[in-house]
Amino acid sequence: MFDTPAEAHQIIEERFSKDQVEMLLKGLGSVITFSVGGSDARGSTRIGGTPDLPRGMDWPRRPIPQNIDEIAKRSGEPYDKELRDHLAGGLPYAFVAQVDLKEASSMEGAAAILPSEGRLLFFYDMIAGPFDTGTQSARVIWDQSPADGLAPAAEPDALAQAAAAWRKSVDDANKQYNLKPQPRGPGAAEPGTPYGGPARPMTLKSSLQLPPPMALEFEATGQLAKTYFADRSVIGGAQAFSQAYSELSGEYDPVNQLLGLPAPVQDDPRYDAVVVSEFNKQSLTGDDWTKNKAEIFRKAADWRLLLQIDVSDLMQESGEGTVYFLIRGDDLEKRNFDRVVAVYQQT
């Protein structure tokens, strides 16, 4: 990510040859990133903690699915029993982030497609979500209430109890295997769990990004894509171009971002959104994927990245994976956030 065109030019010039610089600069696109710090006023942007809710609005709970056994089996033994119990409990979602839309709308570029008032609240089930791509693992709420009518929501007792049990299980495992917890600096907040992360006020920042190689738009960059994949195909070579490009485009270290192109850990997560929405399956067999590839690619272009969150950053603790909140373009235009699909990926 780059803060300004000038910064992008400087960094790209340091890593690529003169004939490649202009090619890369043409590929830059708009994205919004998060910087730690800023106001913690009611309704302001934050990652982790608890949301600010208007009077009468409940913290959303995950609906108990009808196919609990099917979802649980995806995790394999012995974790399937824990996942089955979790799903049957209908716990509240973990709170992920709150985005002040007035702050976002003050920025040029990518934010133009967002509502300009209120805030977006992002929730996710980090226990079951990795095994249940779709709409039930996440909830996104567009709250248009005036900020002066908001109050910090209390963490639901069920989430607090689940988080305490999680921490105890980690402590017990550390003692059993004589492991030491990660050191924390003085005054550092207690790290999070899959049930929520520590509250961190954030400031939104308009940034620029290079199209990640696994994003579906990368192919449309023409010569850039040809150069990248040609470099990757060199057997035994240094692959200096593709390595440097992957690092700058976020392929190896996806960041928290609003809008823009997803930085996939695997394939573009929008393919998963199409598969679960159009085929009602978590994944397709190799033959089915090949047969429907053209349709999947075409329909994936209708989806937009709404929010991308790095799990370890959210928890401020060792953790794995990236969560992508995805929305159809026409739903975003209609301000309909009820059909957001959450996709989890990890290396």
Domain coverage including residue 134: 5-345
Query: Which strand (E) or helix (H) includes residue 309?
Result: strand 303-310
Residue 195: predicted pLDDT: 96
DSSP lists the bridge partners of residue 61 as: 92
Distance, in Å, from the CA atom of 283 to the CA atom of 274, rounded to the nearest integer, reads: 10
Residue 237: predicted pLDDT: 67
Number of domains in the chain: 1
Stretches in the chain below the pLDDT threshold 50: none
Residue 21: predicted pLDDT: 95
Which parts of the chain fold into alpha helices (H)? 5-15, 18-26, 68-75, 79-89, 101-105, 157-176, 223-232, 240-248, 269-278, 286-300, 311-315, 329-333
Q: Is the bond preceding 254 in cis, omega lying within 30 degrees of 0?
A: no
Residue 253: predicted pLDDT: 81
Give burial (CB, 10 Å; 0-12/13-18/19+) of 142: middle
Mind giving me the DSSP string for 209-267? EPPPTTSGGGGGGTHHHHHHHHHHT-TTS--HHHHHHHHHTTSSS---EESS----SSS
Reading the block at residue 55, the tokens are 């009077």
SS3 content of the chain, % helix, strand, coil (to 5): 40, 20, 40
pTM over 0.85: yes
The CATH number assigned to the domain holding 121 equals 2.30.320.10
Phi, psi of 70 (to 5 degrees): -60, -45
Distance, in Å, from the CA atom of 115 to the CA atom of 3, rounded to the nearest integer, reads: 23
Residue 333: predicted pLDDT: 96
Buried b (16+ CB within 10 A) or exposed e, 231-248: beeeeeeebebbebbbeb
Residue 118: predicted pLDDT: 97
| 3-class state of residue 118 by DSSP | coil
Reading the block at residue 1, the tokens are 């990510």
